[in-house]
Amino acid sequence: MKHLLFFGTIISSILLGQVDKSMDLCSRQNSFAKWLSIENMMTENQERINITFYDLYFKIFPDDQSINGLVSATAIVVDSGLTSIDLDLMDGYEIDSVQINGQNAEYTYSSNLMSIQLAMVGTPDIGSEIVATIGYHGDPQSFDFGSFTFDEHQGEHLIWTLSEPYGARGWWPCKDDPSDKADSVNIVVNVPDHLIVASNGSLISEESNPNGRKTYYWQESYPIATYLVSLAIYPYQYWEDTYINADGDSLSLTYYVFPDHYGSLYENYLETKDMIGLFEEKYGAYPFFDEKYGHAEFGWGGGMEHQTLSSMGGWSDWLIAHELAHQWWGDMITCADFHHIWLNEGFARYGEALWAEYDEGIDAYHTYWANHAYYGGGTVIVENTTTVSEIFNGQLTYNKAGWVVHMLRHVVGDDVFFNMLNAYANNDSLKYASATTEDFRDVCEDFTGLDLHDFFDQWIYGERYPRYRVLYDTSPENVLSVQVNQIQSWQLFHMPVDIRITTTDSVYNYFVDQTGESTLYLFEIPDSETILNVELDPDNWILKSVEVMQIGQEPPLPGAFTLNSPFPNPFNGRINIPFSIGEDSNLSFSIQNIMGQTVWEKHAFYPNGKHIINWQGRSGNGADLPSGLYFFTIQSSKKSLRQKILYLK
Ligand SMILES: [Zn+2]
């Protein structure tokens, strides 16, 4: 929304005192907590190696629900005195062979860990390369979490993996930690020959073998975290498409679907190209451009952002946008550990809202955030990474984390924000590697020159949101005093806030820094104008509650709901539509033309109080509308009110 010119100036802002309050930490509910006996804690030995390459071979027997695996892990030694190599592998497999640099090696295998002795290669020097090779077989489903699943669809075998957060060790031995990505991975899979194997990276070859079997050889040549390595296996129907970028380079898109879903999915997937274009414009080049992007249907009712090939159990725009956004945020830059999972999921949520904005306009973007607000307790940073439900908490890890990205956009400003995300995407030490909250904060601070410690501390490590109470006074004339108070019983927030002042002649927008319990701002308003309304953060860039009161005026009575005369009416440029509500409400606004067609709509949360909504004669996607008579409707859960407005250009 464009800001009109403002004539008033801030003549002073006075800090009336700041009182620190200790944080009110609330206990969290984990009603369906699923405890795992494992977490991504590295062993001491694992911290002394850097994995460079995995060579994975699986022979899969769907009828027996078993696999034979032969896995080589190549590691560079980064610390002295290493006598063994530790790889995570869930208990329960039969181990057939264990070798170090091609020679049989002693090992132990218990508590979901293989520890392989390096005796035959001596104590390796720093910088030397070690290859550990393990042959094993068994049923990967014998663990109580479904990282590797023998499933079925329409009577056919469906085999799929979903390894986030700690499931890779459920089907292959690895250093299962997202802070140490392999530089590349080969994924070779032998299956009955009616099955098609879809996986990460590029398909190098497919080869028919004796006894009715077939081998697929996939290669991921970009760095990849263990949890992003995936298999999706079925007699798929698949098709290819091509995305052409701004330089004319092409990226191949491959979609694997169940044949009975082809008809209903084809149209949905066509939008993927537009989404890649949008995200390339906002975030920079698609990270795996030399390989592919694609989708593979699987048996879980959601999506999973497997690198270069998202696994899909739904087909909505938002899911497609979400998993695609993860290719930048989650796959190219991965959370260093699952305390910082919001860097994956908050950014993927943000991708959904960006798509809404691109597809339907800025009001749809704001509606998205109104519908994904979370006001409860708990921190975005994950305290306990052994609980899967806590890592993937829908309200904190997804919705509030997405709000943090949304809020950051306004704190730094639109142009700066997207350039800043580009800087993050292209940071030499983070690109194709892993990041913590602090790494991201440092990039933002370096790029903007702002001190964002308070911002990240309060929103990522702190709980809840600010509750603002705004008191304004229009006397003496020409000076408007606006006192912004934070009235919550928990931590205080430090945010820049928008203050919008609507007068008989103008709309003034200010962006002021607010910190502490109470801040007083004084605004000079021209003599000729009467102040009609004051709003704080009217466009909902802050996760907050707010109440605004004029000194000497009663707030609306509980249950009140009134729509006042819009002004100016007729209008040219911008019309202001005042309304008041006596309680916090989710409201729908819409504008119909004389044919009864809805030409604009918006849904938003409004607190108890007086408000003004503006309209500029444009449709939701920004198209200018013709002059004429329109009807403005505002609807609460209880009633709907309507006013005629006349647009004259
Ligand atoms: Zn996600």
Q: Read out DSSP for 322-358?
A: HHHHHHHBTTTBEESSGGGTHHHHHHHHHHHHHHHHH
Can you read off the two tokens belonging to residue 182? 């392999």
What is residue 39's predicted lDDT score, i.e. its pLDDT?
Answer: 55
Rounded Cα gap, residues 12 and 520, in angstroms: 9
| 550 pLDDT higher than 60 | yes
Separation of 397 CA from ligand 1 center, angstroms? 9
From ligand 1's centre to the CA of 283, what distance in Å?
A: 17
Q: Which residues surround ligand 1, an ion (CB under 5 A)?
A: 345, 348
Lowest mean pLDDT, pick from 178-187, 579-588, 629-638? 579-588
pLDDT of residue 280: 97
pLDDT at residue 38, as a whole number: 52
- Ligand 1 centre to CA of 575 (Å) is 40
Taking the centre of ligand 1 as the mean of its atom positions, its distance from the CA of residue 347, in whole angstroms, is 8
CA–centroid distance, residue 478 to ligand 1 (Å): 51
| Composition of the chain by helix, strand, coil, percent to 5 | 20, 40, 40
Location of each CATH 2.60.40.1730 domain in the chain? 43-235
**pLDDT for 514 beyond 60:** yes
- Percentage of the residues of the chain whose pLDDT score is greater than 70: 93
Measured in Å, residue 365 CA sits from the centre of ligand 1 at 18
Q: Can you give the length of the chain in residues?
A: 649
Per-residue pLDDT for 296 more than 90? yes
| Least confident segment among 19-33, 438-452, 481-495 | 19-33
DSSP string, 21-81: ----PPPPP-TT--B-S--SPPPTTGGGEEEEEEEEEEEEETTTTEEEEEEEEEEEE-SS-
Q: Tell me the per-residue pLDDT of 136-152, one tens digit each, with 9 for 90 and over.
A: 999 998 665 668 999 99
Contact 563, 577 (CB under 8 A): yes
**Cβ 307 vs Cβ 317: under 8 Å:** no
| pTM score | 0.87
User: Residue 348 Cα, ligand 1 centroid: separation in angstroms?
Assistant: 6
Could you tell me which residue, 559 or 160, shows the higher pLDDT? 160
Sheet holding 609-615, edge to edge: 561-563, 575-581, 609-615
Rounded to the nearest angstrom, the distance between the alpha carbon of 649 and the centre of ligand 1 is 45
Find the angle CA(211)-CA(215)-CA(218) to the nearest 5 degrees.
Answer: 175
Q: How far is the CA of 215 from the centre of ligand 1 (A)?
A: 31
**Cα–Cα distance for residue pair 391/384, rounded to 1 Å:** 8
Token output for 637: 């859960």
CA of 446 to the centre of ligand 1 (A): 27
CA of 206 to the centre of ligand 1 (A): 31
Among residues 74, 187, 67, the alpha carbon closest in space to that of 133 is found at 74
- CATH 2.60.40.1840: which residues of the chain? 1-24+463-553
Cα(315) to centroid(ligand 1), Å: 14
In whole angstroms, give the CA distance from residue 307 to residue 294. Answer: 9
Ligand 1 center–CA 496 separation, angstroms: 29
Cα of 619 to ligand 1 centre, how many Å? Answer: 31
User: How far is the centre of ligand 1, averaged over its atoms, from the C-alpha of 7 (Å)?
Assistant: 45
What's the CA-to-centroid distance between 306 and ligand 1, angstroms?
A: 10
CATH code for the structural domain at 1-24+463-553? 2.60.40.1840
CA of 154 to the centre of ligand 1 (A): 28
d(CA 502, CA 576): 9
Expressed in angstroms and rounded, the spacing between residue 41 Cα and the centre of ligand 1 is 22
In the chain, residues under CATH classification 1.10.390.10 are 236-461
Pair 174, 213: CB distance under 8 Å: no
pLDDT given for residue 40 in this prediction? 55
What was the pLDDT predicted at 582? 87
11 has a pLDDT exceeding 70:
no
For 39, 124, 146, 574, the CA distances from 630, given in Å and listed in that order, are: 59, 79, 55, 14
Distance CA 553, CA 592 (A): 34
Q: What is the pLDDT of residues 61-94, one digit of tens each?
A: 999 999 999 999 999 999 999 999 999 999 999 9
Residue type, 608: N
CA-wise closest residue to 130 among 176, 83, 164, 199: 83
pLDDT interval class at 557 (50, 70, 90): confident
**DSSP letters for 589-616:** EEEEETTS-EEEEEEEEE-SEEEEEEE-
State the distance from the centre of ligand 1 to the C-alpha of 307, rounded, in angstroms: 12
CATH (residue range 236-461): 1.10.390.10
> How many CB atoms are located within 10 Å of the residue 147 CB?
23
Provide the CATH topology of domain 43-235. Immunoglobulin-like (2.60.40)
Question: ω before 570 within 30° of 0 (cis)?
Answer: yes
Query: What six digits make up the tokens of 644?
Result: 């005629």
What confidence tens digit (pLDDT) does each residue in 13-50 have?
333 322 222 222 222 222 223 334 455 578 999 999 99
Q: How many angstroms is it from 345 CA to the middle of ligand 1? A: 5
Q: Residue 565 in 3-state DSSP?
A: coil
Q: How many Å lie between the centroid of ligand 1 and the Cα of residue 163? A: 13
Q: What is the Cα 33 distance to its own chain's centre?
A: 22
Instruction: Indicate the fold that domain 558-649 takes in CATH.
Output: Immunoglobulin-like (2.60.40)
